[in-house]
Amino acid sequence: MHKVVISGTGLFTPPNAVSNAELVEAFNAYVREFNAANQAAIAAGAVAELAESSAEFIEKASGIKQRFLMDKSGVLDPARMTPHLPERGNDELSLQAEMAVNAAREALAAAGRLAADIDMVIVACSNMQRPYPAMAVEVQQALGINGYAFDMNVACSSATFGIQTAVNAIASGQARAVLMVNPEICSAHLNFRDRDSHFIFGDACTAVVLERADAATSAQRFEVLGCKLATLFSNNIRNNFGFLNRCDEAGIGQPDKLFIQQGRKVFKEVCPMVGEHIVSHLDSLQIGAADVRRFWLHQANLAMNQLIARRVLGRDADNVEAPVILDRYANTSSAGSIIAFHLHSHDLQAGDVGVISSFGAGYSVGSVVLKKQ
């Protein structure tokens, strides 16, 4: 069995930064228009009056200050509040594949690898823009990679599950090197008219190159000491959009065809689950929490990350130990923990240990323990 390293990462950041204030301005305009149009029904108790939001509320509830979007004009239009992303022809590169290619090229350059060095491509993210042909096969073709490619979806944990899949292929000799990408267009499945969740997500794409340790030559290499995955079924984070929707017209356009969650239940149930998961994973590798230099956690909610880090360390973690990027990027689903790793790993020294951890819908939890080479 071959040892495996992460030898390169890449990040694609969309061009449109949107502040909490901008998002709130559009949301509150929609609320005022809705309440005015339904004034009589609201007075009669037939329709619930909508409440306005505030930038301060968003930051206090989540730690998010802004996000990057593939399109902001459609989102900030109170009459639309959905990104405007025109369909492309079948012979054009798909939007999601374009994001993936951008991040992948940076990761390949960081790893010092060419397309010819990669044997396997995984696109792992929360939502694919189509069922088939696989996004991964399109990315493979766009980059000129031989071998094989496939898509996988484990919601916010897609990246860690993708890393485990890549590690297995490399360790067994099935592939020399694997490109794993996470193109997340979260704005497309977010209900921007829901006060409790309209601010949560942003768009981004990350990429990771994994390869045999004895063949890696990049300056930044992290050996994968172990991966640990777990799932537990829950309806508390859900999206019911799918190909069966057209079979029952009553459900078309309903809120559950976008992202929905029971936030308080998620917080209460997921935090201890993730904390115990990381602790047991470190224990199985005979690594003490105090010996971990960095935790690259899924970037969903600041309070969640603080609670998870406290459970693992037995104390509060500072921003060096558990870096935060969701203040700028918001929740980018599977890309979040990889963005944190991409931006906050270059200062580690040889022998330093770190943990990438993801958690989200499913419930799904994944952790990857790394050692800097």
Query: In this predicted structure, what is the pLDDT of residue 366?
Result: 98
Predicted confidence band of residue 184 (pLDDT cuts 50, 70, 90): very high
Q: Containing domain of residue 338, as a range?
A: 222-372
Predicted confidence band of residue 168 (pLDDT cuts 50, 70, 90): very high
- pTM attached to this predicted model: 0.96
Give dist(CA 326, CA 298) in Å, integer.
9
Query: In this predicted structure, what is the pLDDT of residue 364?
Result: 97
Rounded to the nearest 5°, which phi and psi values hold at 312? -75, -45
Give dist(CA 133, CA 341) in Å, integer.
30
Q: Is residue 234 part of a domain?
A: yes
Q: Is residue 32 part of a domain?
A: no
Query: In this predicted structure, what is the pLDDT of residue 212?
Result: 98
Q: What is the DSSP secondary-structure string of 194-208?
A: -TTTTTSB-EEEEEE
Give dist(CA 209, CA 111) in Å, integer.
7
Structure letter (DSSP) for residue 186? G
Helix segments in the chain, DSSP class H: 20-37, 39-43, 55-62, 95-111, 135-143, 158-171, 263-284, 302-313, 326-329, 336-343
Tell me the CA distances in angstroms from 170 to 104, 119, 135, 175, 314, one per residue in order.
18, 10, 22, 5, 35
CA trace torsion 211, 214, 220, 223 (10° rounding): 70
Over residues 10-30, the mean pLDDT reads 98
What CATH number did the domain enclosing 315 receive? 3.40.47.10
Please name which of 152, 184, 183 lies closest in space to residue 165, comparing C-alpha atoms. 152
Query: In this predicted structure, what is the pLDDT of residue 193?
Result: 97
Predicted confidence band of residue 169 (pLDDT cuts 50, 70, 90): very high
Query: In this predicted structure, what is the pLDDT of residue 333?
Result: 98
Over residues 151-173, the mean pLDDT reads 98
Q: Is residue 328 part of a domain?
A: yes
Q: Name the token pair of 202.
A: 């942003």
**C-alpha dihedral sign at 177, 214, 226, 308:** negative
Residues 6+ apart with CB under 8 A from 29: 78
Residues 6+ apart with CB under 8 A from 217: 7, 112
Query: In this predicted structure, what is the pLDDT of residue 82?
Result: 98
Query: In this predicted structure, what is the pLDDT of residue 138?
Result: 98
Total domain count for the chain?
A: 1
Q: What is the DSSP secondary-structure string of 281-305?
A: HHHHTT--GGGEEEEEE--S-HHHH
Q: Is residue 15 part of a domain?
A: no
Give dist(CA 107, CA 109) in Å, integer.
5
Query: In this predicted structure, what is the pLDDT of residue 191?
Result: 97
Query: In this predicted structure, what is the pLDDT of residue 118?
Result: 98
Predicted confidence band of residue 354 (pLDDT cuts 50, 70, 90): very high
**What pLDDT digit, counting tens, does each position of 284-323 carry?**
999 999 999 999 999 999 999 999 999 999 999 999 999 9
CA trace torsion 294, 295, 296, 297 (10° rounding): -170
Q: Are the C-beta atoms of 282 and 355 separated by less than 8 Å?
A: yes
**What pLDDT digit, counting tens, does each position of 26-61 carry?**
999 999 999 999 999 999 999 999 999 999 999 999
Query: In this predicted structure, what is the pLDDT of residue 277?
Result: 97
Catalytic residue (one of 125, 156, 227, 271) = 156
Q: Is residue 31 part of a domain?
A: no
Mean pLDDT of the chain: 97
Q: Is residue 357 part of a domain?
A: yes
Predicted confidence band of residue 123 (pLDDT cuts 50, 70, 90): very high
Predicted confidence band of residue 196 (pLDDT cuts 50, 70, 90): very high
Over residues 130-138, the mean pLDDT reads 97
Q: Is residue 195 part of a domain?
A: no
Q: Is 116 exposed, middle or buried (0-12, 13-18, 19+ CB in 10 A)?
A: exposed
Active site residue 156: yes
Q: Is residue 270 part of a domain?
A: yes
**What pLDDT digit, counting tens, does each position of 222-273 carry?**
999 999 999 999 999 999 999 999 999 999 999 999 999 999 999 999 999 9
Sheet bearing 120-124, strands edge to edge = 148-152, 120-124, 177-185, 203-212, 4-12, 222-231, 364-372, 353-360, 292-297
